[in-house]
């Protein structure tokens, strides 16, 4: 939906809503912050109007839901989350935006729906991640939304993202996996221990260890000889979390690693084996 269409809808509702006192903020101060171009100033002024309801505020914050900066879109979503009626009206329109192939609209919609914890949007979010030709920003926003919603219904979004061609998307999906409430297994993350990107491997090792996914033990032991010291460190830590005696030989070797960080973590992990 176009910005002005959203504005017309939320402004109509705002005019019929009760007024609330602000915390030193005002529409004028938000306007000045927007004019300044400072992300920090915009975030600060929007936060000050947490309890302020005014037509101008609604118009400006609605525009901010489509800003190019994530921090600005995030605080705009937070602002609407404080106003359930306005939030629900905008959420319905943003859900519609997920049905197309416009990466910017999908990015903005995903960030709003995540920031407002709109669980009803999960089906549309799951469908959106399968659209071809999406920008990296759009895919990262969809992963952020799944993480913010923290519902297992978002698992398909993360699993799709784990297979993305962009390493930043894969890494974000791996990190998000552990934050889903009621997540019982990290098995889908195990394959990422062999990812071609070092950061993805390192993040996957952390999730495998944090969730004590035993099926990743053998691959973690292999990572103790990885070329990247941070991957080796995280693998050593994860093996300590798994605590399997079978990993003693591999960790003993890692305790003599060229990196002091790896050596220290490996020695600490050896003490956790049983």
User: For the chain, how far is it from start to end, CA to CA, in angstroms?
Assistant: 58
pLDDT in the model for residue 41 = 97
151, part of any domain = no
pLDDT in the model for residue 20 = 45
pTM: 0.91
246, part of any domain = yes
* Structural domain harbouring 217: 205-274
Render pLDDT for 204-223 as a digit per residue (tens, 0 to 9): 999 999 999 999 999 999 99
CA–CA distance, 56 with 28 (Å, rounded to integer): 9
38, part of any domain = no
213, part of any domain = yes
58, part of any domain = no
- The total of structural domains in the chain comes to 1
180, part of any domain = no
Q: Are 106 and 139 in contact (CB under 8 A)?
A: no
20, part of any domain = no
| CATH code where residue 239 lies | 1.25.10.10
pLDDT band at 51 (very low <50, low <70, confident <90, very high): confident
Percent of residues in the chain assigned helix, strand, coil, to nearest 5: 70, 0, 30
User: Looking at the predicted structure, is the pLDDT value of residue 14 above 70?
Assistant: no
Tokens standing for residue 149: 């919603």
Mean pLDDT of the 195-206 span: 98
CA–CA distance, 175 with 25 (Å, rounded to integer): 35
267, part of any domain = yes
């Amino acid at each position: 939906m176009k910005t002005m269409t959203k504005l017309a809808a939320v402004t109509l509702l705002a005019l019929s809503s009760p007024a609330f006192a602000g915390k030193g903020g005002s529409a004028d101060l938000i306007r000045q912050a927007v004019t300044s171009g400072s992300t920090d100033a915009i975030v600060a002024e929007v936060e000050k109007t947490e309890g302020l309801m005014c037509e101008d505020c609604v118009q400006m914050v609605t525009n901010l839901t489509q800003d190019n900066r994530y921090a600005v879109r995030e605080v705009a979503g937070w602002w609407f989350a404080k106003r359930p009626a306005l939030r629900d009206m905008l959420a319905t329109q943003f859900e519609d935006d997920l049905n197309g192939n416009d990466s910017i609209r999908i990015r903005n919609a995903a960030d709003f729906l995540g920031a407002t914890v709109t669980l009803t949007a999960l089906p549309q979010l799951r469908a959106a991640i399968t659209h071809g030709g999406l920008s990296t920003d759009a895919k990262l926003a969809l992963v952020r939304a799944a993480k913010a919603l923290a519902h297992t219904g978002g698992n398909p979004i993360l699993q799709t993202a784990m297979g993305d061609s962009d390493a930043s998307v894969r890494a974000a999906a791996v990190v998000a996996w552990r934050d889903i409430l009621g997540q019982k297994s990290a098995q889908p993350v195990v394959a990422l221990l062999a990812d071609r990107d070092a950061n993805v491997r390192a993040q996957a090792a952390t999730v495998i260890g944090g969730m004590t996914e035993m099926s990743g033990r053998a691959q973690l032991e292999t990572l103790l000889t990885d070329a990247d010291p941070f991957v080796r460190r995280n693998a050593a830590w994860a093996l300590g979390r798994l605590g399997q005696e079978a990993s003693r030989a591999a960790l003993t070797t890692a305790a003599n690693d060229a990196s002091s960080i790896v050596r220290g973590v490996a020695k600490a992990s050896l003490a956790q084996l049983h």
